[in-house]
Structure 1
């Protein structure tokens, strides 16, 4: 009996062919690196930057240059249906399978990459009988890692974030016109059921459940009542099924695994350019959306729009224009601002609901916390503005909740009377627009990979007259490792100084004493609710983590307590 190699490879590739690469207008920063430089950088990934590899093996590789045209076409198709800007590059590389990774360039600046092994891609196609959706689902999975900011995880992949990426894949494939069976095809064919106890990836049953959950969630969001049938909600995206027909493969069946037919094309829709899918839909159809119920146990999945209207009452054209503005802002500045007009807070306050949706919709990038959620619940008379840990530092003295509450009091009666908000739609969205304009000058790149490197920059600037906008240390973002010493340090200890007046978003911050891997005393400051956003749960004393934070107060004297505003963390392996 023939045993499939893929059954043990644990699903890992994009779906691109080996067509010749097409020259781009200019070389990417990564492609410009020499192979030797890239390999040297990759060798440092395990201790600094990480890669989410499908099978969890260490990822060290040289860059292979620009990806083939069909790879880039597939990514463009996936991204067009996410409603989000692409924040990564796609390249062919000598990886075991495929990986979402962060690599440093010669200036030590991080770049997000999806790297794939083209030989593995051919195996995926053969093992799934040429199913056109299998390759797309894998590409969507890897894209999901980057869009959510998962690749901060030390040691590479971890089960919770793999399931999040699987759910994202199922969600996107529904929007692209895949049936439920087709969305599950790659997982059910290529992933083994049993995995080692210390594996970074869950087994087939868990991963298939996550993909199915994503497909079901996307279906329910449209208000369909027949989601259990598993049938597509729309015609397949143009080119998906045709691509398989142009590249037929002969499949050798995998023992014990059946083959479901690919979704048949039904009047394929025209190709959609990235960033316009949501705009077109909003301009021509009802904008009613059903949000997921808040659930602390629910698997998060990256949201794909900037306005959610559960009443279907906002002006479609104004909403479409605003979606485009928010898309452009996210693309240019990285900040994601989402407005929710909700019918039911499910027994929560508007603020609690906002934090729940911040996590479940993964608003902003997890690593730097650059998201904001505005909640308007007219029937409950409540509103809230919840800021991710990164945005909160910029918007500390802004009271957007009061602005939104005024909209409920003044505008909502008019919306209900006419069953349409008309121009009041623009008034509602002004709060998000204010945040957009106030977050267009902050840098979200992790410029420093060690706390010591940032302190060297602080020392270099000491005593010099440097304008704030020219400083490379002020408000800089740093990634560093360290161990939690005390979760509730007391003020007055000069050896680990606590600023008991430290505020975040107008509220007292929680202080956490950390000893960095370099032996530095660090005081982290955070909104305690930030811990609810992290896949690994709350911080624990005695545990070692990889932290990402923004400079608050640093001293070139290593004996002093270094103050960092915490943006995210992940437990080190």
Structure 2
């Protein structure tokens, strides 16, 4: 058996299922009956050793080993009906699309980060369309299988998961699986259909280094599917039945090259979620995180629908550009937590903000407990911490004077604007900062900073931070944690104590190029990270914002990190 060929074939086939949108389905053809090359039939009965090899590669398909350089124009244009499938899924997310879909000569199909002509990172879902028929047959012609895989990849990008060298991380894979199940329920898939791709294409087995075992992944899909079911007000979610539809599932066989959208899909440009009538169901903190699907949650059903819709659109626009996400929760229950702890727990639970740059915020209004709180992601906290105290006081005044009106009328009417206005203020306060990771290693950032300094010295120009290509810009670099509590009296490694008081404790990092860097970490950040608390001696990929590159060592504010093998 050509195990090398199998290693390339089935992982590609599984990931390339997302491009089945570009080719008409063959119908529900069983794998055994498929008129496929002999190598595919052989793969179905491969021995355990070969299956393990295939699974290992399949599990890595969600992430490329390193940023992939594609042609200057970013790869080929995907078929119209493939773009249509992405649009279908995005209509059910309630979020703006932060990635492109391209056809490129990549060895698989996956969520990737590619570098454009300016060497700036760009999120894409790239695919190779050579294996469409294989996947269609491998899933028994299931129309939802490619949709679920595409939703999984979309979940990685919308959540801001880091594209890691050497593969993914089990926690983020479960998050993407849960997101897939959540979206597929909203689109009308049964639980069995939502799980079909995972069941057919991922071999069963123990947890791997990059992906959990299939059982855990199926459970995550079920968790997301059930969460969406309950949020829709259904009481029969344990049965796993699809929502009744008046049209076929999104990828059913069609004769036309661009199938029309299902009846449940809005025939409008990508936009924010439409507020539902009645109370919302807010997921409890503590389970597998999954990207949120609306910017306002109201467990009482009291917010004015027109004002709420306006705020949803405003928050959607901020999420689209510059990328800031703010979610407001009007809740009955804090689940035994303080309002502040609940706000931070829900930032993790709903993955508010892009995980890699920490540009999210959660506003909590708990009128029964007479409490309010705001949690800021580490990226927003750096720039807006000073605003939080006054904004929380504003919310508490609204509870004190306005909530009795809401309860009496069972509608907040004009008070809705008071409760929801804080979100707009938070989003607006961070819009002038750059949220794109401009530098892919610290050495490049330091070199640009040094060049700017030399140019100013030569010209006599004064320093203008707004014209600088490094001031408060973002950088991703790899290194190991040298010291989690560096000695403030060590003159070789300066610790800015005032900065540490404002941002968080310092830690010394040894970058892979050999240099040192002093990072400052908000104490709440570790709870958001899939990798857990930092460990001395371990290697990580860091995302940080420049603070002072002229320091010895350079000083940066840490926004996120991912463990490296």
Same fold (TM over 0.5): yes
Q: TM-score, normalised by structure 1?
A: 0.84
Structure 1: unaligned runs, 5 residues or longer: 21-50, 249-264
Q: Which residue of 1 aligns with 2:14?
A: 11
2:324 and 2:249 map into 1 onto residues whose CA distance is 31
CA deviations on 1:69-113 (whole Å, 9 max, x unpaired) are 111000011111101000111011233431100011121101111
The structural deviation recorded for 1:402 is: 1.5
Match status 1:470 vs 2:481 = no
Q: Which of residues 119, 126, 132 in structure 1 aligns to 2:137?
A: 126
The structural deviation recorded for 1:452 is: 1.2
58-67 or 375-384, which moves further after superposition?
Answer: 58-67
1:58 and 1:452 map into 2 onto residues whose CA distance is 21
| 1:95 and 1:116 in contact (8 A); partners too | yes
Q: Which of residues 348, 355, 358 in structure 2 aligns to 1:359?
A: 348
Q: Which residue of 2 aligns with 1:513?
A: 508
**3-state SS of the aligned residue for 1:150?**
coil
2:198 and 2:269 map into 1 onto residues whose CA distance is 26
| 1:8 and 1:191 in contact (8 A); partners too | no
How does 1:83-232 map onto structure 2 within 5 Å?
83-194=94-205, 198-232=208-242
The structural deviation recorded for 1:496 is: 1.3
Q: 1:378 to 1:56 in 2, by over 3 A?
A: closer
562-571 or 122-131, which moves further after superposition?
Answer: 122-131
1:241 and 1:509 map into 2 onto residues whose CA distance is 48
1:57 and 1:367 map into 2 onto residues whose CA distance is 16
2:229 and 2:304 map into 1 onto residues whose CA distance is 23
Q: Which residue of 2 aligns with 1:445?
A: 436
1:55 and 1:475 map into 2 onto residues whose CA distance is 31
Q: 1:540 to 1:356 in 2, by over 3 A?
A: same
2:382 and 2:199 map into 1 onto residues whose CA distance is 44
Q: 1:434 to 1:455 in 2, by over 3 A?
A: same
Q: Which of residues 393, 403, 409 in structure 2 aligns to 1:412?
A: 403
2:265 and 2:506 map into 1 onto residues whose CA distance is 53
**3-state SS of the aligned residue for 1:354?**
helix
| 2:62 and 2:167 in contact (8 A); partners too | no
CA deviations on 1:461-502 (whole Å, 9 max, x unpaired) are 224424222111110101111111111223222111111111
Q: Which residue of 2 aligns with 1:563?
A: 555
2:215 and 2:510 map into 1 onto residues whose CA distance is 40
Structure 2: unaligned runs, 5 residues or longer: 25-57
| 1:175 and 1:234 in contact (8 A); partners too | no
2:83 and 2:282 map into 1 onto residues whose CA distance is 31
Match status 1:536 vs 2:547 = no
The structural deviation recorded for 1:247 is: 8.7
**3-state SS of the aligned residue for 1:244?**
coil
The structural deviation recorded for 1:229 is: 1.4
Match status 1:495 vs 2:492 = yes
**3-state SS of the aligned residue for 2:492?**
helix
CA deviations on 1:541-573 (whole Å, 9 max, x unpaired) are 111111000001111x7xx12110001001112
2:320 and 2:248 map into 1 onto residues whose CA distance is 26
Q: Which residue of 1 aligns with 2:446?
A: 455
Match status 1:312 vs 2:301 = yes
1:242 and 1:367 map into 2 onto residues whose CA distance is 32
Q: How many residues of Structure 1 are paired with residues of Structure 2 in the alignment?
A: 512
Match status 1:345 vs 2:345 = no
**3-state SS of the aligned residue for 1:496?**
coil
Q: Which residue of 2 aligns with 1:39?
A: none
1:160 and 1:339 map into 2 onto residues whose CA distance is 25
CA deviations on 1:369-427 (whole Å, 9 max, x unpaired) are 00000111111111111000001112021022212111111111110010000111111
Match status 1:387 vs 2:384 = no
The structural deviation recorded for 1:200 is: 2.1
Q: 1:272 to 1:156 in 2, by over 3 A?
A: farther
| 2:231 and 2:280 in contact (8 A); partners too | yes
| 2:272 and 2:312 in contact (8 A); partners too | no
Q: Which residue of 1 aligns with 2:549?
A: 554
CA deviations on 1:326-348 (whole Å, 9 max, x unpaired) are 00111011000110101100110
Q: 1:17 to 1:275 in 2, by over 3 A?
A: closer
Q: TM-score, normalised by structure 2?
A: 0.85
1:267 and 1:481 map into 2 onto residues whose CA distance is 45
266-275 or 125-134, which moves further after superposition?
Answer: 266-275
How does 1:398-437 map onto structure 2 within 5 Å?
398=387, 399=389, 400-437=391-428
Match status 1:329 vs 2:318 = yes
**3-state SS of the aligned residue for 2:126?**
strand
**3-state SS of the aligned residue for 2:404?**
helix
| 1:12 and 1:53 in contact (8 A); partners too | no
Q: Which residue of 1 aligns with 2:43?
A: none
**3-state SS of the aligned residue for 1:216?**
helix
| 1:16 and 1:68 in contact (8 A); partners too | no
**3-state SS of the aligned residue for 1:278?**
coil
Q: Which residue of 2 aligns with 1:54?
A: 61
| 2:285 and 2:345 in contact (8 A); partners too | yes
**3-state SS of the aligned residue for 1:155?**
coil
2:441 and 2:10 map into 1 onto residues whose CA distance is 39
CA deviations on 1:340-374 (whole Å, 9 max, x unpaired) are 10110011001100111111110010110000001
**3-state SS of the aligned residue for 1:518?**
coil
| 2:328 and 2:423 in contact (8 A); partners too | yes
394-403 or 3-12, which moves further after superposition?
Answer: 3-12
The structural deviation recorded for 1:246 is: 3.8
Divergent runs of 4+, >6 A: 3-10
